[in-house]
């Protein structure tokens, strides 16, 4: 499996923790940056990682910024991306099981490194259940495509 990661200067504090989980599983990582603590603009790195997931080059993506919010908003503007911002394990797992989320976003100013590792592991271990959930994901895609669903 190949995973794209992206972060801004605030999210960089979680990067080592995330990489630890990914490397322990032998997952190939494409690190879209940023690579230092100089102030930068999170949407750029969110888009860069999201493009790799949307194109199929990477199966999943993991994003980090201060809250996890801004970079997830940016990623979700890329067609085909379902990025979920999570601060706890249950939502991270269910986002895969029910929503077929293909990107996870976490906030370095919100959660600690051990919680972050557990969230990443939960996201990776879960898988999409399909069935009625596929129908609902298809509706999300229809909305993304500008269709009225009501």
Decide if 98 is catalytic: yes
Question: For the residues of 73-122, what is the DSSP string, one character each?
Answer: HHHTTSTT--EEE-SSHHHHHHHHHTT---EEEEETTTS-HHHHHHHHHH
* CB of 109 vs ligand RB5, minimal distance in Å: 7
Task: Give whichever of 67 and 102 is closer to ligand RB5, judged by the CB atom.
Answer: 67
Residue from 58, 65, 83, 85 carrying the catalytic annotation: 65
Of positions 66, 78, 103, 123, contacts ligand RB5 by CB under 6 A: 66
Considering all CA atoms of the chain, what is the largest pairwise distance in Å, rounded to the nearest integer? 46
Give CA–CA dist 150/88, Å, rounded: 32
Of positions 18, 65, 116, 124, contacts ligand RB5 by CB under 6 A: 65
Q: Please list the active-site residues.
A: 65, 98
- Using CB under 6 A, list all residues that contact ligand RB5: 8, 10-11, 42, 65-67, 69-70
């Amino acid at each position: 499996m190949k995973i794209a990661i992206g972060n801004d200067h605030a999210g960089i504090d979680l990067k080592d923790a995330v990489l630890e989980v990914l490397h322990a599983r032998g997952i190939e990582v494409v690190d879209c940056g940023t690579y230092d603590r100089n102030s930068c603009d999170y949407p750029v790195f969110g888009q860069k990682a999201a493009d790799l997931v949307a194109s199929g080059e990477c199966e999943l993506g993991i994003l980090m910024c201060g809250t996890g919010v801004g970079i997830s908003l940016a990623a979700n503007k890329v067609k085909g991306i379902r990025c979920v911002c999570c601060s706890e394990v249950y939502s991270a797992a269910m986002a895969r099981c029910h929503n077929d989320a293909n990107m996870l976003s976490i906030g370095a100013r919100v959660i600690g490194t051990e919680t972050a590792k557990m969230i990443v592991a939960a996201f990776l271990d879960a898988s999409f259940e399909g069935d009625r959930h596929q129908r609902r994901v298809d509706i999300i895609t229809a909305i993304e495509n500008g269709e009225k669903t009501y």
